[in-house]
């Protein structure tokens, strides 16, 4: 293990190694068929992630996101609390399109971090704010990977989540902003010198930079609003079409370099992690471990199931990633709560799974945020986030417990 730490082996390889060792230990040898099939288990989700991140990176290269942050810098002087709400909303958007928190950290977080520091946030608190917003956005929908994994495993259509997912995440985002930012916003003193407002780039940008977002929203939203009249081209093709629309802005230079950077680490590590999770799930099914987990969960009393939900999904997900947590533990727990509304239960479980993006040892969102923004003391970042992690976990659990009542309103 010390050797693996020294060579900095990605988490995806750990999961592949665990899968092979598990298969050997149970007498199945090296099952090449299951290893290959597992790699293709979540390939469609990987394609969605990669095309989504490519679109966001190209759109960022057009200067449109910088333009938005420039206007936010001016808003901060007049309405500091409203500025924080706007930053939180922007942190949601990349995750809503990709199902991951990492793109929000890399694209929005890097631009918002200097403004948060200028406003009075200490570095660890600013990183915590960005990490929490990115995590919540990753499960707000319309793309929610834990829900997709669970729904695929129980043959449930990925429908009916359009209102219930925001009903979980939006109140949590509002509460996070009020708790973390109200005092800082009140103490903030206006500054006339912002780096973003002095960039000459913004005078050359035209309203056409908003065209890609409009096209993307139409391609994703119209088939869901009018399913019989408008064909669904698929999320990857929608991202690709919107990315091509960015070229019409005429502000993107070095497209090849931008595309290569978009799929570089840690996004590529995340895609590899998802593929290796497919292998782990396949081997767990082959060896019967997945069935044992399902049987154990279904034999628990209701209080035991709720405790396992509260602890296992965030903490064990921190070890095997949000995706592995959804596949190995989210599915059995949803099956154990079939007397509840399955859509609301799955939505609540997806938020608990998403918390694993902030929990060590993987902590993919918060660790990437700390590394990208130059804050190396992860212990302080985790302490800043811990009250909000507990709040999010308890609120999500309440959605699960009262799922039948909530379904009457949001499903």
Is 235 within the bounds of a domain? no
Q: Which pLDDT belongs to residue 191? A: 56
Instruction: Check residue 159 and give left, alpha or beta (phi > 0: left; psi -120 to 50: alpha).
Output: beta
Q: Report the C-alpha gap between 353 and 146 in whole angstroms.
A: 7
Structure tokens at 50: 């990669």
- Is residue 210 assigned to a domain? no
- pLDDT for the residue 79: 83
Half-sphere exposure (Cβ direction) of 45: Cα atoms closer than 13 Å: 25
Q: How many residues does the chain have?
A: 411
Q: How distant is the alpha carbon of residue 199 from its chain centre? A: 31
pLDDT recorded at residue 75: 73
- Distance between CA 363 and CA 324 in Å, rounded? 13
Q: Tell me the Cα Rg of the chain.
A: 21
Distances (CA, A) of 356 to 37, 105, 109, 128, 180: 26, 16, 19, 14, 21
pLDDT at 362 over 80: no
Residue 281 resides in a domain: yes
Q: For residue 116, tell me if it sits in a domain.
A: yes
Query: Does a structural domain hold residue 24?
Result: yes
Determine contact, residues 176/131, Cβ cutoff 8 Å: no
Contacts 24+ apart (CB under 8 A), 329-334: 329/293, 330/146, 330/149, 330/150, 331/149, 331/150, 331/153, 331/154, 331/290, 331/294, 332/290, 332/293, 332/294, 332/296, 332/297, 332/298, 333/297, 333/305, 333/308, 333/309, 334/150, 334/154
Highest mean pLDDT among 166-175, 210-219, 232-241: 166-175
Least confident of 2-6, 61-65, 231-235, 398-402: 2-6
Domain annotation covers residue 386: yes
Q: Which pLDDT score is estimated for 147?
A: 92
| Total number of domains in the chain | 1
Q: What is the pLDDT of residue 205?
A: 53
Contact 58, 298 (CB under 8 A): no
Helix (H, G, I), strand (E, B), or coil: what is residue 102?
A: helix
In a domain, 1, yes or no: no
pLDDT of residue 195: 52
Higher pLDDT, 346 or 39: 346
- DSSP characters over 209-276: GGHHHHHHHHHHHHHHHSTTTS----HHHHHHHHHHHHGGGS----HHHHHHHHTSTTHHHHHHHHHH
Q: How confident is the model at residue 139 (pLDDT cuts 50, 70, 90)?
A: very high
Taking only the tens place, the pLDDT of each residue in 17-61 is 888 888 888 888 888 888 888 888 778 778 877 887 788 788 878
Domain assignment of residue 306, yes or no: yes
Q: State which residues form the domain around 155.
A: 10-205+251-410
Does 210 score more than 70 pLDDT?
yes
> Which two three-digit tokens encode residue 402?
């009262």
The answer to whether the predicted template modeling score (pTM) of the entire model surpasses 0.85 is: no
């Amino acid at each position: 293990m010390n050797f693996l730490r020294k060579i900095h082996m990605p988490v995806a390889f750990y999961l592949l190694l665990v899968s092979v060792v598990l298969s050997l230990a149970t007498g199945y040898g090296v099952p090449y068929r299951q290893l290959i099939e597992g790699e293709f288990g979540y390939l469609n989700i990987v394609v969605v992630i990669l095309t989504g991140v490519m679109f966001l990176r190209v759109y960022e290269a057009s200067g449109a996101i910088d333009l938005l942050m420039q206007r936010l810098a001016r808003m901060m002087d007049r309405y500091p609390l409203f500025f924080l709400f706007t930053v939180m909303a922007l942190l949601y958007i990349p995750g809503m399109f990709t199902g991951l928190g990492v793109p929000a950290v890399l694209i929005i977080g890097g631009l918002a971090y200097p403004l948060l520091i200028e406003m009075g946030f200490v570095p660890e608190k600013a990183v915590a704010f960005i990490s929490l917003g990115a995590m919540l956005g990753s499960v707000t929908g319309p793309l929610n990977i834990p829900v997709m994994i669970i729904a695929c495993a129980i043959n449930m259509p990925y429908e009916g989540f359009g209102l219930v997912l925001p009903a979980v995440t939006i109140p949590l985002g509002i509460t996070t902003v009020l708790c973390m930012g109200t005092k800082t916003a009140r103490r903030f003193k206006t500054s006339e010198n912002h780096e973003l407002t002095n960039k000459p780039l913004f005078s050359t940008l035209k309203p056409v930079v908003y065209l890609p977002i409009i096209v993307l929203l139409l391609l994703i939203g119209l088939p869901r609003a009018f399913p019989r009249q408008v064909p669904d081209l698929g999320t990857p093709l929608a991202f690709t079409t919107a990315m091509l629309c960015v070229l019409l802005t005429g502000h993107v230079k070095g497209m090849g370099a931008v595309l290569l950077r978009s799929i570089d680490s840690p996004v590529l590590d995340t895609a590899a992690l998802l593929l290796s999770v497919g292998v782990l799930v396949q081997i767990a099914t082959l060896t019967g471990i997945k069935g044992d987990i399902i049987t154990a969960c279904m034999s628990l009393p209701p209080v035991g199931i709720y405790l396992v939900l509260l602890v296992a999904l965030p903490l064990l997900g921190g070890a095997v990633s949000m995706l592995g947590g959804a596949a190995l533990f989210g599915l059995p727990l949803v099956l154990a709560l079939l007397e509840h509304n399955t859509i609301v239960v799955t939505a609540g479980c997806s938020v608990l799974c998403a918390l694993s993006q902030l929990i060590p040892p993987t902590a993919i969102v918060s660790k990437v945020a700390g590394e990208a923004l130059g804050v190396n003391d992860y212990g302080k970042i985790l302490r800043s986030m811990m009250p909000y992690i507990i709040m999010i976990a308890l609120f999500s659990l309440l959605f699960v417990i009262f799922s039948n009542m909530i379904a009457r309103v949001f499903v």
